[in-house]
């Protein structure tokens, strides 16, 4: 096991974590960004399974949120405002009239305090940030800690923790785009995903939840027995069309299985298993990624990665029936998401 640190300009640092099996996770203190994850395929060949920029400085103006920590609120807040204890809070609109992923200067744009650590069977990076009352329009001083831990069992554990001195709203996530083919050899069309979810949030043409939560049965949103992502990408169903042909929807977990998501890429044999304390996640299939970004392995294009954004739902600010994002002054925000890397052989 080892940790390497590289100093870049602008007080940016890159931390490289490598376990005893050669699994490597690269983290940038700017935005808490996961820039690379290297894992072996079924033949033992190591490849990068996430999307990242070839030029590190491109993260400074990244419209895609590659690998970044997202907050204070992940997702879209309708009309960039919400009411809390009778007071209306207005946030900066950064996607039409709406507020997306914490705003243009959200957690993906801050330099986090970074403290690497190494223990007997794991190593990692503890990131911390103090978000001041009123920052980006949100109430409350919030102390946030995010810890990335890489274990010798080939797990990447993300622990999120936060406290506030005033009732506020908070739901954090990581916005990594996974591509298990390795080094972007293929798109994600043939990624086979199984998901422990029987319900998802219906979206309107603005990509905002309508307030209706739909049953997945007999639809391309039913991943309970597994399906290829291509089935939704090629579907003519309205819910796929409005997001640019694919998925960009919030799924609510049934919490009946040990892993909320299992993704497999048939050619490489790589398997990604995910479990979480979060009540649901947004699955985004990079429908609108475009071809303008120079990545580590070449130019970007649509459907080159899939995001599993575990979180509660900002739709709860405007609709009943969604997992809440309220955080009171006497509470601690504590959530965990675990990504376990493997192959069809293990």
101 catalytic? Reply is no
The C-alpha atoms of residue 29 and residue 126 are separated, in whole angstroms, by: 10
Q: Indicate which residue of 135, 186, 309, 335 is catalytic.
A: 309
The C-alpha atoms of residue 257 and residue 53 are separated, in whole angstroms, by 35
Evaluate the omega torsion of the peptide bond into residue 294 and state whether it is cis, within 30 degrees of 0.
no
Q: Are 70 and 175 in contact (CB under 8 A)?
A: yes
**Backbone angles phi and psi of 53, in degrees to 5:** -75, 145
Which of 99, 101, 108, 175 is labelled catalytic?
Answer: 175
Strands 197-203 and 248-253: what pairing?
antiparallel
| Whether residue 43 lies in the annotated active site | no
Domains and CATH numbers, the chain: 9-343 (2.70.98.10)
pLDDT in tens, the chain (346 residues): 899 999 998 899 999 999 999 999 999 999 999 999 999 999 999 999 999 999 999 999 999 999 999 999 999 999 999 999 999 999 999 999 999 999 999 999 999 999 999 999 999 999 999 999 999 999 999 999 999 999 999 999 999 999 999 999 999 999 999 999 999 999 999 999 999 999 999 999 999 999 999 999 999 999 999 999 999 999 999 999 999 999 999 999 999 999 999 999 999 999 999 999 999 999 999 999 999 999 999 999 999 999 999 999 999 999 999 999 999 998 999 999 999 999 997 5
Residues 131 and 15: their CA atoms lie apart, in Å, by 23
Query: Is the separation of the CB atoms in 106 and 76 below 8 Å?
Result: no
CB atoms within 10 A of CB 28: 24
- Cis omega (within 30 of 0) on the bond before 72? yes
User: Which parts of 149-263 fold into alpha helices (H)?
Assistant: 230-233, 238-241
Direct distance between the N- and C-terminal alpha carbons of the chain, in angstroms, rounded to an integer: 21
């Amino acid at each position: 096991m080892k940790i390497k640190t590289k100093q870049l300009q602008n007080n940016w640092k890159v931390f490289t974590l490598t376990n005893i099996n050669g699994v490597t996770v690269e983290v940038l203190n700017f935005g808490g960004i996961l820039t690379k994850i290297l894992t072996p395929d079924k033949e033992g060949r190591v490849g990068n399974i996430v999307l990242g920029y070839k030029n590190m400085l491109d993260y400074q103006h990244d419209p895609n949120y590659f690998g970044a920590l997202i907050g204070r609120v992940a997702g879209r807040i309708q009309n960039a405002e919400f009411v809390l204890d009778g007071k209306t809070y207005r946030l900066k609109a950064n996607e039409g009239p709406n507020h997306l992923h914490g705003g243009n200067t959200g957690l993906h744009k801050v330099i986090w305090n970074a403290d690497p650590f190494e223990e007997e069977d794991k190593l990692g990076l503890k990131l911390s940030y103090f978000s001041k009352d009123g920052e980006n329009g949100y109430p409350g001083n919030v102390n946030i800690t995010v810890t990335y831990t890489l274990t010798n069992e080939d797990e990447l554990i993300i622990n999120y923790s936060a406290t506030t001195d005033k009732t506020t709203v908070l739901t954090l996530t990581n916005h990594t785009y996974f591509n298990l083919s390795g080094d972007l050899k293929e798109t994600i069309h043939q990624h086979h995903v199984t998901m422990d979810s029987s319900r998802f949030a219906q979206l309107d043409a603005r990509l905002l939840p309508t307030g209706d939560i739909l049953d997945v049965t007999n639809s391309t949103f039913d991943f309970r027995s597994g399906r290829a992502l291509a089935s939704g990408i090629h579907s003519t169903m309205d819910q796929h069309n409005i997001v640019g042909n694919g998925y960009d929807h919030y799924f609510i977990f049934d919490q009946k299985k040990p892993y909320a998501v299992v993704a497999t890429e048939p050619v490489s044999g790589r398997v990604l298993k995910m479990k979480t304390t979060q009540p649901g996640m947004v699955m985004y299939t990079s429908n609108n990624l475009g071809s303008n970004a120079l990545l580590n392995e070449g130019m970007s294009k649509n459907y080159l990665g899939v995001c599993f954004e575990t979180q509660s739902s900002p739709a709860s600010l405007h609709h009943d029936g969604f997992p809440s994002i309220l955080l009171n002054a006497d509470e601690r925000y504590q959530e965990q998401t675990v990504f376990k890397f493997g192959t069809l052989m293990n």
